[in-house]
Amino acid sequence: MSIHNRQHNLNFNIIGLIAVIHLFFIGTALCYAGYDYIDINNPFLRKIPIAIPLFKTVSENPAEKRMSNKSSDLLSETLKFTGYFKILDQDAFLVDPGKSGIIASNINFQNWTGIGAELLITGGFQLSDNIIEMELRLYDPFKGRLLVGKRYKGWISDQRKMIRRFCSEVIYVMTGKRGIFDSKIAFISTGSGNKEIYICEFDGNNPVQKTRTKNITLSPAWSSDGKWIAYTAYKKGKPDLYIEHLKEKRSVVVAKKGINITPAWVPGKFELAATLSYSGDPEIYMLTGTGKIIKRLTYNMGIDVSPAWSPNGGKMAFVSNRSGTPQIFILDIKSRKVKRLTFHGRYNTSPSWSPDGDRITYTAMENGQFNIYVISADGGDPVKLTYNEGDNEAPSWSPDGSLIVFSSTREGGPSRLYVMTSYGTDQRRLLALPGEQTNPKWSPNIN
């Protein structure tokens, strides 16, 4: 029950959401019912068939019906995006819950098991005076049991937020994790004529230009609370490091002689690693969030660049050419020992450490083609995730580790952002804007 109590205590005073009331009749058993729905060895190998019929509206008001159908479509799309589900075709449904019922006592679950649905979501929808009320329930039709039920109330403009909140509940029941629904993606786009940083929602919606340096801008990096972003820009004619608060007007610049590039925030701290070359060659340093050097982390005459932290901050992966070509190395912060991670191929760069800590994804060049690989953080054989489809670069994990965003030229034209599951399945385009889009960085979930 502790989970439910915690949920009741959640603060829902986020902008716009006027009130969120939780449903009640959640069986106690289901707190620990969930995780056997998904194969943890490869959760995307077999997609779970889920039925999401149109929501039941209180009235026959066409505006309400329209908004209701939009909500159920949005729910289907959002759950599909996660890669875990196969959304069943509504034409195959034997009953219309809009006409029958949406609560367990009114549902004949055999109508759903009969079409192969292993999960069912029913919804009730009401629209009055620009306020939406939704009741959403996730059922296991085989067990005839409610897994999670919630009621949401908010402005029409909060529709997406309400749907996402319920998706988060669904994913929590399935995986024990909160999912990606409060995360964003920062990336570089050239639509304005210069490389500038843009930020969109996790599913590519609402891209917004964040920087206006009118010059080269690169390498956005999220702090682990999602409140700060660090990046490299040539505002003053050379590559300097900018550390900025996303909402307040607070920022600092690190503009030492040479290059000031590739920031990576230390998990849970207001500190970041970055490459500076003021000593004469590019080395990685630990900096405070205010841009002061704490200590030097690498010692090698040559290139040391692109740090990526393990989730607990104990280790740092980075790219070095100390063995002749760019390869990924791991520095143990405490022991200061450096271990080479990649041995396949002559060009392995842009590491991103999985949120579970066990895997590292990176870009490799072979035969002039760039592709994305995943390797155990302990080393071993890398697994190739992209094949023969243009250049695929700059992978970045989603905060729950289930997805990877990357850039790809597979359409033959300019580089676009793509998403795939962390096992390489379900590769699809995230968004396309004017110009080209590169260097995506997935944020943590931001509350």
Partner 1 sequence: MRKKLWIILALLLVIPGLLFTASCAKKTVKSELAVTAAAEKTSQQASEIMREKMAAKNMFINEDIYFDFDKSNLLLLAQDVLRRKAEWLWSNSEVSVIIEGHCDERGTNEYNIALGDRRAESARNFLVDLGITGSRLTTISYGEERPVDSGRNEEAWAKNRRAHFTIE
| Chain residues in the site for partner 1 (CB under 8 A) | 195, 216, 218-219, 232, 234, 237-239, 258-259, 261-262, 275, 277, 280-282, 302-306, 319, 321, 325-326, 347, 349-350, 363, 365, 368, 370, 393-394, 438-439
Q: How far is the CB of 255 from partner 1 (least distance, A)?
A: 12
Residue owning tokens 């999401």? 52
Looking from the CA of 78 toward its CB, the CA atoms found within 13 Å total: 26
Q: How far is the CB of 413 from partner 1 (least distance, A)?
A: 12
Comparing CB distances to partner 1, the nearer of 111 and 215 is 215
Comparing CB distances to partner 1, the nearer of 261 and 430 is 261
Q: How far is the CB of 404 from partner 1 (least distance, A)?
A: 16
Comparing CB distances to partner 1, the nearer of 93 and 318 is 318
* 147-to-52, 132, 261 alpha-carbon distances in Å: 15, 23, 47
Comparing CB distances to partner 1, the nearer of 238 and 384 is 238
CB atoms within 10 A of CB 116: 12
CB-count exposure of residue 227 (10 Å: 0-12, 13-18, 19+): middle
Comparing CB distances to partner 1, the nearer of 258 and 357 is 258
Q: How far is the CB of 211 from partner 1 (least distance, A)?
A: 15
Comparing CB distances to partner 1, the nearer of 140 and 436 is 436
Q: How far is the CB of 233 from partner 1 (least distance, A)?
A: 11
Give the containing element (helix H, strand E) for 418: strand 416-421
The answer to whether 437 touches 416, Cβ cutoff 8 Å, is yes
| Cα 23 to Cα 8: distance, rounded to the nearest angstrom | 10
Pairing between β-strand 85-87 and β-strand 48-51 as defined by DSSP bridges: parallel
Q: How far is the CB of 287 from partner 1 (least distance, A)?
A: 16
Residue owning tokens 């901050």? 313
102's tokens? 């949406």
* 58-to-55, 369, 370, 381 alpha-carbon distances in Å: 10, 56, 53, 56
| Cα 378 to Cα 365: distance, rounded to the nearest angstrom | 21
